[in-house]
Chains A and B, each alone.
Chain A
């Protein structure tokens, strides 16, 4: 059985959207897929040493609010200063209590399983990011490099 391949593009840098690429990549690797994730634009936050990811209730009507808060906070209330930090820490503690892995843990599992993590060089330059801000063991490349792998992959997802 020749190895299957999974190519992912991760474009989002929030706590909630950090999960899909790392869950899919680590699971695929466990099943025997060769996996690459191409991180571009806000997805680059997922490669930072210090991720400090947040989730925002602002403009996110699908987000379940704890303790019926959506009833006493109108939409505008989700823009109150501190709301994002509070929601982020509440979500993190809820995840912990439910046995959901942290993003850092899933990322480590991906690296242990030889999932190739590629930072989009163009975005790194665009946002004046420094390689020292990122974890070790990642590659820096462009779209053509992504296609070299994606072109022969069995599954390609844009997240």
Chain B
């Protein structure tokens, strides 16, 4: 994954801030846009999955590399 509309760095933030701040960024985006989020909170893996399931946004990709978590979310 590499294509995205906006990037949000949630490094160092703990629950529930990565979700809350990402949601804020998503609100300013258009349908079909992709938000790329980087986080260090290990709990965010399940949280982003749950967030997307409940909001209808599509989690295109979720991966981990070098202690960081990467999410690509397509706005519904």
Residues of A within 8 A of B (CB): 1, 23, 26-27, 30-32, 98-101, 109
Contacts and interface: CB of A to CB of B under 8 A. Distances in A.
Contacts of B14: 98-101
Contacts of B19: 27, 30
Given A30-B16, A99-B17, A101-B14, 15 more contacts: A1-B56, A23-B15, A27-B16, A30-B19, A30-B20, A30-B51, A31-B51, A31-B54, A98-B14, A99-B40, A99-B41, A100-B14, A100-B15, A101-B13, A109-B20
Contacts of A101: 13-14, 16-17
B56 to A, nearest CB: 7
B28 interface: no
A117 B15 CA distance: 22
B52 to A, nearest CB: 10
